[in-house]
Every structure is written in structure tokens, then in C-alpha cells.
Amino acid sequence: METPALFLCLALPLAGAALVLLLGRWPNLREAASLATGGWLFLEVLALLPAVEAGDRPRAVLVSVIPEIPLAFEVEPLGMLFALVASSLWIVTTIYSIGYMRGHGETNQTRFYACFAIAIASAIGVAFASNLLTLFVFYEVLTLSTYPLVTHSGTDEARRAGRVYLGVLLGTSIAFQLFAILWVWVLAGETGFRSGGILAGRADPLATTILLALFVFGIGKAAVMPFHRWLPAAMVAPTPVSALLHAVAVVKAGVFAVLKVVVYVFGPGHLAAIGGTSGWLIAVAAVTILAGSLVAMRRDNLKARLAYSTVSQLSYIVMGALVASVWGIVGAGLHIVMHAFAKITLFFCAGAVLVAHHRTEVSELDGIGRAMPITMAAFLVASLSIVGLPLLGGMWSKWYLALGTIESGRYELLAVLMLSSLLSVAYLLPIPVRAFARPSPGGGSGEGIREAPWPCVLAIVLTATGCLVLFWFAERWLRLLSQLTG
């Protein structure tokens, strides 16, 4: 089905960026424009959902860059899901940013909002890409448009972090991903995403394994070790950036790309057929899961701890994709959603603590729950969702990922999942416990309640509620995702 409305989904955030630049002098109007485009974009994306659920694939062709490989878009369940997550959380993040950026007195806010909008446009482009070239193009735009956000503060530290960020992301994408895309093109004669994959029967097991490795490491945004360093480095960015981009849009674009490549380029059947040769890659993902958790435990800086937690959680999705079993893929897809809502909440909370009390380290959070009850309650909810306890969305994705490992008979991976859940209890739960149970260092609790500005609190409440609600409404996403595996 030709759907020019897809262009609107791309154009809206870009127009938003232009509008933000134009209205830079009037902050209220500027933020209103950001919110309005965010809302409109979400509605546009949402309008595509019924068609995709009905099994339709809205598509549109933009321009033919390389003959035979146009910049083209096609909405399939995974992309639908990712676009919904990115566009809905953009609205929430914009609300949050208003409170945060003003509360924290950040400079260059116009550039901030404009780059943010461009990043969302590229995330949508990644979500809807219908071939590897289009995916690659928007993947790179996403990297470049988020660079100014990472170096936002302009300090030496930010510049160093920016260099790591750009070096790892551009480097891996050019050295490995582009190489892999070209290789696929040479092998298969096409780069389009097709259900069942395009490599079956065209690539022998060895080539398939090497290609898979090139994709997994080449999509540096998936932060599989040893190419994860950019993510902790990116934490120098303002918190809304860490929250939306480095917990949702950018990193999820990475794992989404891995998932999409596995499902639509390799094909789960083909991967299963070559069997154990990709085992070592799964092992790398498993190591990343555990090592990420272990490093997270040792980080005192709250955002750094959350970043390593993200590294670990992202590899859940990579692992689910690489296992390539039915439930593994469904679980991986669901985890994109569930982890997004939980992790963005955690970052929001971290930012709120920073704005309201100027604290960044975990060890400074003693007793802060009394001053910020809503924030820390939300933190608790989101932590439990990450751990994967029932009544929270995070449970479902872990459940299906675990099913996936059992289905493929890899019990050692099940053990990794369980162990990692325990580790996440160990690195996340002490924070709310500290906040509520310990006395604040000053002794008395005389300061009373001092929450972050209300837009921040509103955003936190929204996403935390999301974690709860997703537990009850997971079935719709499940049905959508099961289209992938037939």
C-alpha cells in the first residue's frame, strides 16, 4: 500500500526542528512548537497502527540514491513498535525537558530542541526503513544529529566524550556495517527487508557468521561489548538527552536494527539452519549482559550506573535476536518497549534529583525519598520493571526471552538471564532503599518536600504509569509481534 503519509512522519519532526530554530527567541512558543509537532507525529504514527495490525505494509519511496536501492520506507510490526515508542516518549521527554532545561539553567536551548527533533526524525527513518541502505543513512544521521547534544555543555570532558561517541559509532558503522551491507548486496543482489530473509541459500554458513558478526558489532548503537564505551561517555549530555536518546531512541535504534537484520535479512530459519556457528556471538552478548551488570554495581555515579544497566539490557535484545527462535524474537521486540519505558523513567528521576538537589552520586541519595517522594516512588516502580517483576511491563519481555532460550534448548542462556535479573536487583534496588530508609546526612528532615519542577514530575509520573499499564496491555503488542514469526 503506497502511503505518502510516511513522509509526513519524517517531515514533521524536521519541520519541528525548523520551527524551533525560527522561534528560538521566544522560549514558550518554541517549546509549544516542539510539543505540538510531537503530538501530531504521535497521532500520525498511531494512525498507521490499525493497517499494520491488519497485516498491511504501508510503504513509500522517497528518492533513488543508488539505482535499484532507493531511499524507501515500509512499516512492519517491529518498525511500528519502535516508532510508537520513540514518538510517544518524545512528547513526554519534551514536557520533561521544559522543566529540566529551565530548572537547570542550560544554555543553547534552541540548538538543543532542534537537534532533538532531527534525532527523532532519523529514529523514525530508522524505524520505517525498507532496505539496508535507508537504514544506514538514517542511522548515520542519528549519530551526527546527537553529537551536538552529547557535547552540549562544551566543556573539555564533553568534547572528549563526544570524540569517543562519534569515533565508536561512526567507526563501527563504516568499518563493519557498511562493509556488511555491501557484502549483502553483492551476495544477494538486493538489500531490501523481506520476511524470511534474503540470504537463505545465497550465503554459506561461514559467510553468514562473519556477516552476522559484522552487523552485530557494526551496529555500534546496540552497545555490544567491546563497542559499548560510547554509551557511558554520552552521559555527559543533559539528562533529557540521556533519557530519550541514550535509553530509547539511539540505543533502541541499534538493537532494533540488529533485530530487523536478523528477521528480514538473515531470516530466523536461515540462522537456525546454520546452527551453532553463531554461538560465539551469543556468548559475546551473554558476556555483555553480565559484565554490564557487574560494572553497573560498581558505579557510584547514578547516570553511569544506569548507562551500564542499559548496556546490559540492550544485549538481552541482541541475544533474543541471535537465538532466532520464535519466542526469542518476540521477547526481544517486547523488550524494546518495556525497557524503554522503565529506563526513561529512571533517567528522568536521576535528572530530577540533579535539578532539585544537585546530587549525582548514588551515595549522596540517603534520605532523599522524603524530599522527593513521587520521584523516588517512580524510581522504585521502574527498577522493579527492569528487574522483571510481575504487574510491571518488564516482566513480559523477560518471560518471552526466557521462553526463547528454553525453546532453543540453551539453558545456559536462561541461567544468564536469571543471574542478570538478580544482579539488577543488586544495583538498582539499593537506590530507592537508601532514599527512603536511610536518614538524610544533614540529620533532620527539615527541608520538607522539594520535588523537581512540575513538568519533570508530570513526565516521571506518565512514564512510570506506562510501566504499570504495559503489563495489562501487552497482548496487543504480542499479537503484533507474532506477525514476524508467522
Partner 1 sequence: MIASHLPALQVVVPLVAAPVCVLLRWSRVAWMVAMAASLFAVGGAWCLLAGVLSAGPTSYFLGSWAAPWGIEYRVDETNAWVMLVVSVISAVSLLFARRSVEREVETDRIHLFYTAWLLCLAGLLGMAVTADAFNVFVFLEISSLSTYVLVSLGTRREALVAALRYLVLGTVGATFFLIGVGLLYQVTGTLNMGDLATRIAQLGPHRTVTAAFGFLAVGIAVKSAVYPLHTWLPNAYAFAPSAVSAFLAGTATKVSLYLLLRFLFTVFGHEFVAGGPVPVLLALTGVAAVVAASVAAVRQDDAKRLLGFSSVAQIGYLVLGVSLLTTEGVAASLIHLFGHALMKTALFVCLGAIVYRIGSARIDDMAGIAKRMPWTCAALVVGGLSLIGVPLTAGFVGKWYLVAAALEAGWWPVAAAMLLASLIAVAYVWKLVESAYFRAPSARVAAARGAPFSMVAAAWGLSGANIWFGIDTSLPIGVANRAAAALLGG
Contacts to partner 1 by CB under 8 A: 63-67, 133, 136-137, 140-141, 144, 151, 154, 159, 162-163, 166-167, 170-171, 174-175, 178-179, 182-183, 185-186
Cα separation values, 378 from 16, 47, 394, Å: 30, 30, 14
207's grid cell: 559467510
**Which is nearest to 116 in space by CA: 61, 41, 171, 49?**
41
Residue 183 or 399 with smaller CB distance to partner 1: 183
Contact (CB, 8 A) for 218 and 173: yes
**Which is nearest to 342 in space by CA: 379, 288, 297?**
379
Tell me the closest approach of the beta carbon of residue 182 to partner 1, in angstroms.
5
Residue 179 or 399 with smaller CB distance to partner 1: 179
135's grid cell: 537504514
Tell me the closest approach of the beta carbon of residue 147 to partner 1, in angstroms.
10
Cα separation values, 381 from 183, 301, 361, 385, 460, Å: 45, 20, 20, 6, 11
Residue 151 or 208 with smaller CB distance to partner 1: 151
Q: Which residues lie closer than 8 Å to 48 by C-beta, 6 or more apart?
A: 3, 5, 6, 9, 58, 75, 80, 83
CA angle at residue 350 from 345 to 354, to 5 degrees?
Answer: 145
Residue 115 or 480 with smaller CB distance to partner 1: 115
Q: What single letter denotes the amino acid at residue 173? A: S
Tell me the closest approach of the beta carbon of residue 184 to partner 1, in angstroms.
10
Residue 178 or 290 with smaller CB distance to partner 1: 178
Which residues in 359-431 belong to E strands, given as ranges?
none
310's grid cell: 542499559
* Burial class for 163, CB neighbours closer than 10 Å (0-12, 13-18, 19+): middle
Residue 14 or 406 with smaller CB distance to partner 1: 14
Residue 84 or 237 with smaller CB distance to partner 1: 237
How many whole angstroms separate alpha carbon 401 and alpha carbon 379? 24
Residue 125 or 351 with smaller CB distance to partner 1: 125
Tell me the closest approach of the beta carbon of residue 185 to partner 1, in angstroms.
6
Tell me the closest approach of the beta carbon of residue 130 to partner 1, in angstroms.
15
Question: How many CB atoms are closer than 10 A to CB 261?
Answer: 26
20's grid cell: 524551533
Tell me the closest approach of the beta carbon of residue 360 to partner 1, in angstroms.
23
Tell me the closest approach of the beta carbon of residue 126 to partner 1, in angstroms.
12
Tell me the closest approach of the beta carbon of residue 158 to partner 1, in angstroms.
9
